[in-house]
Chains A and B, each alone.
Chain A
Amino acid sequence: MAGERAPRAHVVCRADELPPGGRVLVNLDGRSVGVFNIDGQLHALHNRCPHAAGALCMGPVTGTTAPTEAGARTFVYTQANHILRCAWHGWEFEIESGRCLSDDRVRAKRFKVAVDQGQVVVTI
């Protein structure tokens, strides 16, 4: 597309600096990006919440409650450490898909991330 720059690979950190449960925040060509290690899998997301431009990647990585029956009003805790809650307003996103739990039409922007020769590389 005219005006859109070609994707570029950026070295973010060494892979051993991002262990499981870890996160790094970096600025890549003026774009704030959060890189997460969830159970050994790396995920890179735009640190800008699609709801209201909040600091998405600075919020807690946590779980949430699964939908339950209204009759019993019980709680089933699920997706532990797979949900990112925006630091500002608390909208919930699945880290693996970017899917917003309260609005299926909303997605958090994800970037390609890989380990190359011991370095974490994000392509945006």
Chain B
Amino acid sequence: MIDCDVHNDWSSSNVLLPYIDPTFRDYLLRGELPGARGSFPHAHRPWLHPEDFRRHDIKPTTDDEHYSFMREHLLDRYQHDVAILTGEEALEVSTLANPHYASALARAYNDWAVDTWLPRDDRFWMSLIVAPQDPQGAAAEIRRLGAHPRVVQVLTSHGSYRPYGDKFYEPIWEACHEMGLPWAVHLGGQGGINYQPIGGGPTTYYWETHALLLQPAMTHVASVIANGIFERYPNQKLLVIECGVTWLPSILWRLDANWRALRKETPWVKRLPSEYARDHIRMSTQPLEEAATKQQLWDVLRAMDGENMLMFASDYPHWDFDAPDDMPLPPTWMDKVMDANARQVYTKLPRTPVPWQLDAHKEPAL
């Protein structure tokens, strides 16, 4: 079983001090922070979870506990074969106005994760976090560490400065292509310079906003297809993580209809948007929409070829965690969604898929 969204947190952003460039070590050591010393430099989203966005049954404090609790509550409990580490606050470098500082923090995070997380567990594979507002710096980072045998994707927040198909990001696509890495877009970065995370203006409450978290992901899907990224880079994958799932068929229907009428506007787009999506885009499952009936959910998932498009993710240890042994998916899809689809995308993983074993999981002793 492959879990495509596992958050490896730290006790304090001070863990980055040994890794960050000297110029920016001063910033991190003495510079202004959004919270107390040890908080991570970023512009926070204006929607604050009223009960904290982490699960309340897991409260690690030390760096050792961050790992040991994860092992107990996730990796061992559900018998993970692979956990794709996606960082925690490091993703929020995308909100900073200073692109040099943002890239320095991303580099420091990546080195810290390679140095301290990967050696802890052979089930760990990691994302390379980059600062998309610094396309050249991001591209350099992808080339610096992209060949690491445990780095399986490039990761940015879905909150963004511009839609990711925009020419501004060309250096990042080029570097992803060169290093053979998918670009994964993960919920986050809804603040700072990413000033339009919600269409129509800022919503008011956390839960209402969280339900709309799919909006920027829709924008990126449309933008990347319309700008011909998949024509230019025929093996490139775009992964959409933690942005919901069931909106995809609706958006693709709409994109297909408009392309049929106005293909002349983008002559480099040579196939239906839905065909590019089928070949190049994958979605992680969490938070899987809780439809009124399983049948309604499955009808929509079938319309997007969920059997081949979906990859399981738990989002451990967050409040909207999806447990691997409680996934309301068609049983015949489980081998693919829980394992095989991700192995197609993450080509550095061992090639042999692990069949899903429904009865493998047991309630933990309390």
Chain A: residues with CB nearer than 8 A to chain B?
Answer: 51, 64-71, 73, 75-76, 89-92, 101-103
Contacts and interface: CB of A to CB of B under 8 A. Distances in A.
A65, A68, A75, A102 — which one has the most chain B CB atoms within 10 A of its CB? A102
Interface of B: 227-229, 231-232, 259-270
B260 A70 contact: no
18 contacts: A65-B263, A65-B265, A66-B267, A67-B268, A68-B267, A69-B231, A69-B232, A69-B268, A70-B228, A71-B232, A73-B227, A75-B267, A89-B260, A92-B261, A92-B264, A101-B263, A102-B260, A103-B260
A92 B263 contact: yes
Given A75-B267, A89-B261, A101-B263, 18 more contacts: A65-B265, A67-B270, A68-B268, A69-B231, A69-B232, A70-B231, A70-B268, A71-B232, A73-B268, A76-B267, A90-B261, A90-B262, A91-B261, A92-B261, A92-B264, A102-B259, A102-B260, A102-B263
- What is the predominant secondary structure among interface residues of chain B facing chain A? helix
B228 A51 contact: no
A67 to B, nearest CB: 5
A69 B268 CA distance: 5
A65 B264 contact: yes
Contacts of B231: 69-70
A66 B266 CA distance: 10
A31 to B, nearest CB: 25
The 7 closest A-B pairs by CB, nearest first: A70-B228, A70-B231, A90-B261, A65-B267, A70-B268, A70-B232, A102-B260
Contacts of B228: 70, 73
A92 B263 CA distance: 9
Contacts of A89: 260-261
Contacts of B263: 65, 92, 101-102
Contacts of B270: 67
A51 B260 CA distance: 10
A64 B264 contact: yes
A91 B229 contact: no
A116 to B, nearest CB: 37
B305 to A, nearest CB: 20
Contacts of A71: 232
A51, A64, A70 — which one has the most chain B CB atoms within 10 A of its CB? A70
Contacts of B229: 70
